[in-house]
Amino acid sequence: MERLSGLDASFLYLESRSQLMHIIGLIELDPNTVEGGYSFEKMRDELERRIAGLPTFRRKLRDSILNIDHPVWVEDRNFDIESHVHRVAVPSPGGRTELADFCAHIAGVPLDRSKPLWEMWVIEGLADGKIAVLLRMHHAGVDGVTASDLLAKLCTFSPETPELDEESLSHSAGDASLAGLAVDGALQVARRPLSFARLLPKTAQVPFDWIARALRNEAMPLPFRAPRTPFNGSITGHRSMAYTQVSLADIKRIKNQFGVKINDVVLSVCAGALRGYLDDLGELPDKPLVAMVPVSVHGDNDDDLVTQGTNKVTGMFTKLATDIEDPVQRITTVGEQVRKSKEHHGSMDSNLFRGWAQFVPSATMGVAMRLYASQELAEKHPVLYNLVISNVAGPDFPLYYLGAKIEAMYPLGPVFHGAGMNITVFSQDGQLNIGVIACKEHVPDPWPLMQAFEDEVKTLLEACD
């Protein structure tokens, strides 16, 4: 068995019917490259063959009233691929609007916790003859990096069917008896006082360092200081979704012209798109929006008393300069803001957030979230941050998913009460894929935001000239 870390488990405790905690990947595929021709049954059978060596896809949650710590992952001895892989066709004319509407509907449906926490929808009927795959995985089991790694294991450099590693076929998520679950849980909890003693002095220093940096104008923006927008309130379970694709070469050209990082260009383009979108609605605030940017800490030296599990990510706050009209001035300002935020975030111990997450109580957290949602408290306190923006670097070469060539890949993250929009950017094979998912009541039509994203790239390219 593998016990969930506090951060992993918190995504279970935070989940409700309106606040769903799964990560989504929408993949557009060319089925003409599949050996012997594409069929749904062939794709499903090949997936079953490959995940025989990937226990992450076969593990499910196990808990007990005797367990006083977080749940564990165990092997699903009754795993059935047909319970996870589904086939559907989008309605005519099968364009990107119909595809996005279907994916948004599925994004608003909870995953079944009695089974391994993932599912895949193979989507046919697209107007261009391609197929799409919608993959959902619960955030308790993956973060952005591990989700990309798992997806990569289902991909190859050519359409030929690969041989499987014999050793990987023997891997299992394990099992847990009720007694073993209870004893191990008690041992984990017994270590908490030592973890608390080590975390407390490090945490106590954080506000003093933050204030000192703020006085030098070298700090991240403070939480609960973001302006309110239409998507900063209590959310429902309904989702809206849109996506687009721009040339990565264009993004690199902008980067080189203005002497910034690719991530700075992404954040600046998002800022310009959000500014235009909100201005058209008559809802553009005077203060700059604040984004929470997930930062992976995979590969860091973990403290085994406070960190374990799958999710190894922290959050960095940064201003988006949406109050600046000129795109050239905006990208320069965003680059400077991100530099300050990175230096500030980098000076903090990456173990602190994950360490305190170990102390998250399941029952109390669940009750608190239900109360928070039912009382619509997100409208009654200052905005923590406006939205999540993730930028994930992918492979800059062609890949084949179960034999079908990947044309585009759009990852999408969860949305939260108080921050009902998530923009995720993924670079892959010379393209920058941008996906937005939001609470439908707050953002009923996100396509203008994607058009604004494309327009902002064109504007910056013209500025390069």
Instruction: Report if residue 11 sits inside a domain.
Output: yes
Angle made by CA atoms 87, 89, 94, in degrees to the nearest 5: 150
Domain total of the chain: 2
Identify residue 178 by its one-letter amino acid code: L
Residue 210 shares a structural domain with residue 290 = yes
Going by C-beta distance under 8 Å and a sequence separation of 6 or more, which residues neighbour residue 59? Answer: 2, 73, 74, 75, 76, 116, 141, 173
Instruction: Kindly tell me if the per-residue pLDDT of 79 is higher than 70.
Output: yes
Instruction: Kindly tell me if the per-residue pLDDT of 57 is higher than 70.
Output: yes
Mean pLDDT score, 204-212: 90
Instruction: Report if residue 256 sits inside a domain.
Output: yes
Instruction: Report if residue 196 sits inside a domain.
Output: no
At 320 the three-state DSSP class reads coil
Residue 134 shares a structural domain with residue 177 = yes
Instruction: Report if residue 407 sits inside a domain.
Output: no
Instruction: Kindly tell me if the per-residue pLDDT of 305 is higher than 90.
Output: no
Residue 324 shares a structural domain with residue 231 = yes
Residue 252 shares a structural domain with residue 385 = yes
Percent of the chain, pLDDT > 90?
Answer: 66
pLDDT score for 434: 96
Mean pLDDT score, 76-80: 93
pLDDT score for 302: 54
Residue 179 shares a structural domain with residue 240 = no
d(CA 348, CA 346): 5
Strand order in the sheet with 59-62: 2-3, 72-75, 59-62
Angle made by CA atoms 103, 311, 386, in degrees to the nearest 5: 60
pLDDT score for 313: 81
Our measurement of the distance from residue 261's CA atom to the centroid of its chain's CA atoms, rounded to an integer in Å, reads: 21
> Which residues form the domain of 157?
2-187
Q: What is the domain-level CATH number for residue 262?
A: 3.30.559.30
Residue 268 shares a structural domain with residue 158 = no
Instruction: Kindly tell me if the per-residue pLDDT of 259 is higher than 80.
Output: yes
Domain termination residue (choose one: 158, 187, 216): 187
- pLDDT tens digits for range 82-94: 999 999 999 999 9
Residue 50 shares a structural domain with residue 103 = yes
- pLDDT tens digits for range 143-201: 878 888 888 888 999 998 888 877 777 778 788 878 888 888 888 888 888 888 888 88
Instruction: Report if residue 402 sits inside a domain.
Output: no
At 396 the three-state DSSP class reads coil
Instruction: Kindly tell me if the per-residue pLDDT of 299 is higher than 90.
Output: no
> 86 catalytic, yes or no?
no
Instruction: Report if residue 315 sits inside a domain.
Output: yes
- pLDDT tens digits for range 355-401: 888 888 777 888 888 889 888 999 999 999 999 999 988 888 899 99
Domain termination residue (choose one: 156, 187, 218): 187
Residue 295 shares a structural domain with residue 392 = yes
At 290 the three-state DSSP class reads strand
Residue 127 shares a structural domain with residue 217 = no
Residue 147 shares a structural domain with residue 224 = no
pLDDT score for 303: 56
Which has the minimum average pLDDT: 51-60, 143-152, 293-302? 293-302
pLDDT score for 362: 77
Residue 38 shares a structural domain with residue 126 = yes
Among 139, 344, 417, 442, the one annotated catalytic = 139
pLDDT score for 323: 96
415 compared with 300, residue with greater pLDDT: 415
Residue 134 shares a structural domain with residue 169 = yes
d(CA 408, CA 423): 16
Instruction: DSSP for 15-48, please give it.
Output: --SSS--EEEEEEEEEGGGSTT---HHHHHHHHH
Q: What is the domain-level CATH number for residue 65?
A: 3.30.559.10
Instruction: Report if residue 277 sits inside a domain.
Output: yes
Instruction: Report if residue 380 sits inside a domain.
Output: yes
List residues bridging with 293 in a β-sheet.
316
